[in-house]
A and B are shown apart, each in its own frame.
Chain A
Amino acid sequence: SQQGEEDPQALSIQEGENATMNCSYKTSINNLQWYRQNSGRGLVHLILIRSNEREKHSGRLRVTLDTSKKSSSLLITASRAADTASYFCAPQGGSEKLVFGKGTKLTVNP
């Protein structure tokens, strides 16, 4: 299992703006998952992108994956105050275990 590194560590935007956060990893993967964590709560699974996919959408979320650069990005469009949370990526290779980094702390100001 390998850890993803999220960037930036913190991001502050205004409501209605788009938020982009990035994830880099080191070795080949089968899929990559993104999770959200509201303050003091458990993680919630947002989206999974497989290694043979380049882009995936779910509502206001858009995830891209570039396996040649070993990186992924999560875009949240038209952000809302309720999107304020920490976002974690979890690259997954052969192991079923996930390793989480420190995440990106997103603050959406009303």
Chain B
Amino acid sequence: EADIYQTPRYLVIGTGKKITLECSQTMGHDKMYWYQQDPGMELHLIHYSYGVNSTEKGDLSSESTVSRIRTEHFPLTLESARPSHTSQYLCASSDPQREYGTQYFGPGTRLLVL
């Protein structure tokens, strides 16, 4: 099991609410990623970070934002949730210098916006 954690695991929330999905890892990895995945579909990279104070947008445009103030923590925030944000969100981390870019994934957060 990878030492990467996501909370909450499930979230049901009303339209317009602000939410933060938490992701933390204890492996000391510099690189962290957020993916969005609809059921049975491919993962889409929405944000990534190469280290503290570094954040980049991924291949899929997302209305969410991220921050990286500490190495171990990479939260994702939606300022105003909408039903179109309903999806599974997966966080991952990697240390390319040690393991050729192998990514370790958290268990995911299933978000339902009503």
Query: Which residues does A use to contact B, with CB under 8 Å?
Result: 1, 3, 30-31, 33, 35, 40-45, 48, 50, 88, 92, 96-103, 105
Taking a contact as CB atoms under 8 Å apart, the answer to whether A48 and B92 are in contact is no
Q: Given A31-B100, A96-B96, A105-B40, do A41 and B107 touch, yes or no (CB 8 Å)?
A: yes
Taking a contact as CB atoms under 8 Å apart, the answer to whether B106 and A42 are in contact is yes
Which chain B residue has the least Cβ–Cβ distance from A95?
A: B101
Which chain B residue has the least Cβ–Cβ distance from A103?
A: B42
Q: Which of A41, A50, A92, A96 has the most CB of B within 10 A?
A: A96
Taking a contact as CB atoms under 8 Å apart, the answer to whether A101 and B101 are in contact is no
Question: Top 4 nearest A-B pairs by Cβ distance?
Answer: A42-B105, A100-B43, A43-B105, A102-B42
The reply to whether the CB of B110 lies closer than 8 angstroms to some CB of chain A is yes
Query: Which residues does B use to contact A, with CB under 8 Å?
Result: 2, 6, 31, 33, 35, 40-43, 45, 48, 58-59, 88, 90-92, 94, 96, 99-108, 110
Q: How many A-B residue pairs have CB under 8 A?
A: 61
Taking a contact as CB atoms under 8 Å apart, the answer to whether B101 and A98 are in contact is yes
Taking a contact as CB atoms under 8 Å apart, the answer to whether A100 and B110 are in contact is no
Question: Which residues of A lie under 8 Å from residue B88 when comparing CB positions?
Answer: 40
Q: Which of A3, A48, A100, A102 contacts B100 (CB 8 A)?
A: A48
Question: Which residues of A lie under 8 Å from residue B42 when comparing CB positions?
Answer: 3, 100-103
Taking a contact as CB atoms under 8 Å apart, the answer to whether A92 and B107 are in contact is no
Bound complex: CA A1 to CA B88 (Å): 22
Taking a contact as CB atoms under 8 Å apart, the answer to whether A96 and B107 are in contact is no
Taking a contact as CB atoms under 8 Å apart, the answer to whether A98 and B105 are in contact is no
Bound complex: CA A41 to CA B33 (Å): 16
Bound complex: CA A83 to CA B72 (Å): 31
Bound complex: CA A96 to CA B96 (Å): 7
Question: Which residues of B lie under 8 Å from residue A33 when comparing CB positions?
Answer: 101-102
